[in-house]
Copies of this chain bind each other. A is one copy, B any other.
Amino acid sequence: MKIYVAEQAGFCFGVKRAYNLAVKAAKEEKKSVYTLGPLIHNPQVVERLKNSGVEVLEDPQNAMKGTMIIRSHGAPPHVFEKAKKLGIDLIDATCPFVKKAQKCAQALEREGYEVLLVGDKEHPEVKSIVGHLKQPAMVVGAAEELSGWKIPRRVGIIAQTTQSVANFNKIVGIILEKAHEIKIFNTICNSTINRIESARILAQKVDVMLIVGGKNSANTTRLAQVVKEVLPQSYHVEVPEEIDPRWLEGKERVGISAGASTPDWIISAVITHLQSLAGAKEEEVYLLRK
Residues of A within 8 A of B (CB): 165, 168-169, 172-173, 176-177, 179-186
**Copies of this protein in the complex:** 2
Of all chain B residues, the one with the shortest Cβ separation from A168 is: B176
List of B residues within 8 angstroms of A177 by Cβ = 165, 169
A185 B180 Cβ-Cβ under 8 A: yes
Residues of B within 8 A of A185 (CB): 180-181
- The answer on a CB contact under 8 Å between B182 and A176 is no
Docked CA distance A172–B177 (Å): 12
Chain B residues whose CB sits within 8 angstroms of the CB of A182 once the complex forms? 182-184, 186
- A241 CB → nearest B CB, Å: 38
Which residue of the partner chain B has the closest CB to A177? Answer: B165
Q: Name A185's closest neighbour in chain B (CB-CB).
A: B181
Bound: A205/B60 CA distance, A? 63
A108–chain B nearest beta-carbon distance, Å: 10
Chain B nearest CB: distance from A195 CB in Å? 15
Docked pose: A179 CA to B183 CA in angstroms: 12
Which residue on chain B has the smallest CB distance to residue A187?
B180
Name the CB-closest residue of B to A157.
B182
A169-B177, A182-B186 are known contacts; what are 5 more A-B pairs with Cβ within 8 Å?
A: A165-B176, A181-B184, A182-B182, A183-B183, A184-B184
Q: How far is the CA of A267 from the CA of B169 in the complex (A)?
A: 39
- In the complex, what distance in Å separates the CA atom of A273 from the CA atom of B173? 41
Closest 7 CB pairs of A and B: A169-B173, A182-B184, A183-B183, A165-B177, A169-B176, A181-B185, A180-B186
Cα–Cα, bound, A186→B175 (Å): 10
A207–B185 alpha-carbon span in the complex (Å) = 46
The distance from the CB of A38 to the nearest CB of chain B, in whole angstroms, is 30
Q: A169 contacts which chain B residues (CB < 8 A)?
A: 172-173, 176-177
Complex contacts, A173 vs chain B, CB 8 Å: 169, 172-173
Smallest Cβ distance from A246 to chain B, in angstroms?
Answer: 38
A257 to chain B, nearest CB (A): 20
12 interchain pairs (CB within 8 A)?
A165-B176, A168-B176, A169-B172, A169-B176, A172-B172, A172-B173, A173-B173, A176-B184, A181-B185, A182-B182, A183-B184, A184-B184
B residues in contact with A176, CB < 8 Å: 165, 168-169, 172, 184, 186
